[in-house]
Amino acid sequence: MANMRTMSFDAVIVGGGGSGMRAALQLSQSGYKTAVITKVFPTRSHTVSAQGGITCAIASDDPNDQWQWHMYDTIKGSDYIGDQEAIEYMCQTGPEAIFELEHMGLPFSRTEEGRIYQRPFGGQSKDFGNGGQAARTCAAADRTGHALLHTLYQGNLKSETTFLNEWYAVDIVKNEDNAVVGVVAIDIETGETVYVKSKATVFATGGAGRIYASTTNAHICTGDGVGMALRAGFPVQDIEMWQFHPTGIHGAGTLVTEGCRGEGGYLINKDGERFMERYAPNAKDLAGRDVVARSMVLEILEGRGCGPDGDHVYLKLDHLGEETLNAKLPGILELSRTFAHADPVVEPIPVVPTCHYMMGGIPTNVDGQALTIDKDGNDQVINGFYACGEAACVSVHGANRLGGNSLLDLVVFGRASGMFIEKQLREGINLKEASEADIERAMTGLNRINNSADGEQASVLRAELQTIMQNYFGVFRRGDFMQQGIEKLKALRPRIENVALDDKSNAFNTARIEALELQNLFATAEATAIAAEGRTESRGAHAREDFQERDDENWLCHSVYFPDSKTLGKRGVNFNLKTREAFEPKIRTY
């Protein structure tokens, strides 16, 4: 410990995906000494898998489009627990953020007029729900995340951001004032442990879809930021809200973009019926993702599923014609042929709702400052600590995210966090130095794993955790089942804390990293379980069989999970729009 090296930066961003690199770009462009700690080379981050696009009212498809309509759709989509101030900021600032990306070279698809191509996505409307389906999702074919992530990496190369590639952040370093003053991180290639000290620490660590057995998420989506925040005693918000994407490829879990349905594809059951017409007569296959996913599960449960086990439905695309599919959805053709052994040009793709996105996360304000709640229920900024992207809960998605809003979220709030930290750095940030004991505290988890003498394999424990989450905290939830799930997690906790690490070598030891990731998966899963059991209503993605109605009287609020007491509190939703009166909660139909 006494020999541990320290590296110092003005700002450290943990995570090299879209939001992290957008924040880093902002800071390095203004000349601040900025580092990105990323456990994979930046272009391997999960943003790369985003397909369909980035939703934003740039008025290309419809010259009369308005960002206020996008704001309305997002608030409705959130089932009214998205913070309206944050949603207003995102939808209003969005076009500027998109045009910046385009100027940086993002290869968007184009219209005949030379503008950015926009496609219809679920939950989109014109004129506050009164003008029919909108086409508001800006796309680079069906590889928008790839194009966006590479463009941001390229921008950071140009602005000379320091990249600590294949470094893994282990835990938060807090000073005596409970402010965040950096992280302890491992250089994976050499195994060296370093204190990375910073005036501003931004968590852009992405989601944690790997808490479920079936997920569209990459192997690396292990909730590292949420886990670190919880271990540091900081709360997380709305963590029970997990989006199940309607169209994961059956068996493989890989994502098939909502853009397929945007371009005219639709779901059918074993009778060939376009069943979404029954569940959402207006929007049909382009209803909110929570609505479509639940409808699919009901079809399967009621015996109208496809395949020998009746455990999936079909996504039909062949009627769109080969030319359109090649031009608009080339990546989907590849994925379906590879993972479903189905050629969408002639046959439907077997799909099933699959864990896709974490709506909850580290609560922040619009400037990316991480928040905790004091004993009087007031928001308190955590000095030195910021979060953006999927790891954060700002909250623009509330109980259900609209397709295409995740990329917008990460660009807009990565940028906003960067701009705010820039301002703070200009004015001067003075946080007390961490003591040796403060740094040592951040080494506790790593030391325990490095000294493990026996215990079970990480892969076995991880599989058990994923099965518990899949079985007890899936698309439909029930109180007594969830209580059983919570008991099973309790029994799993000591076994996961005691995970084996037989190989103690230093060079590129991925077993060590997986043992650390497992701790974060568990922390995220446990918070999810307790919050899901605690929210006694159905709202957005959180559907309970024992509380089937939305309960605005008691639950028109955020849930806040406190790790030290393992209890659930509440936090008010922000209804303070700057440009108009707030949108009042209505019954949500599509």
Q: Which residues bind another protein (CB under 8 A)?
A: 40-41, 43-46, 48-49, 58, 95, 98-99, 102-105, 107-116, 140, 143, 146-147, 150, 154-155, 157-158, 189, 218-220, 254-255, 331, 334-335, 338-339, 457-460, 502-503, 505-511, 514
- Tokens representing 148 are 């966006």
Nearest to another protein of 380, 459 (CB atom): 459
Nearest to another protein of 19, 201 (CB atom): 19
Note the helical H segments in 272-360: 276-279, 289-301, 322-328, 330-335
Residue 400 to residue 328: CA distance in whole angstroms: 26
| Catalytic residue IDs | 289
Nearest to another protein of 112, 376 (CB atom): 112
Can you give 166-220 as a three-state secondary structure string? Answer: CEEEEEEEECCCCCEEEEEEEECCCCCEEEEEEEEEEECCCCCHHHCCCECCCCC
Taking a C-beta distance cutoff of 8 angstroms, is the pair 574, 86 a contact? yes
Q: 448: which residues sit within 8 A by CB, 6+ positions away? A: 497
For residue 331, count CB atoms less than 10 angstroms from its CB and return exposed for 0-12, middle for 13-18, buried for 19 or more.
buried
Q: Give the H or E element holding residue 519.
A: helix 510-534
Nearest to another protein of 111, 483 (CB atom): 111
Taking a C-beta distance cutoff of 8 angstroms, is the pair 248, 255 a contact? yes
Taking a C-beta distance cutoff of 8 angstroms, is the pair 388, 410 a contact? yes
The Cα-based distances of 514 to 165, 440, 518 in angstroms read 17, 22, 6
Strands 557-562 and 236-237 come out as: antiparallel
Question: Within 10 Å of residue 453's Cβ, how many Cβ atoms?
Answer: 8
Overall residue count recorded for the chain in this entry: 590
Nearest to another protein of 109, 269 (CB atom): 109
Across the chain, which distance is largest between two alpha carbons, in Å?
69
Q: Give the H or E element holding residue 497.
A: helix 479-497
DSSP codes joined into one string, 110-136:
B-TTSSB-EEEEEEEESTTTTS-EEEE
Nearest to another protein of 17, 398 (CB atom): 17
Nearest to another protein of 106, 286 (CB atom): 106
Strands 362-363 and 5-14 come out as: unpaired
Residue 280 to residue 302: CA distance in whole angstroms: 18
Q: 526: which residues sit within 8 A by CB, 6+ positions away? A: 489, 493, 566
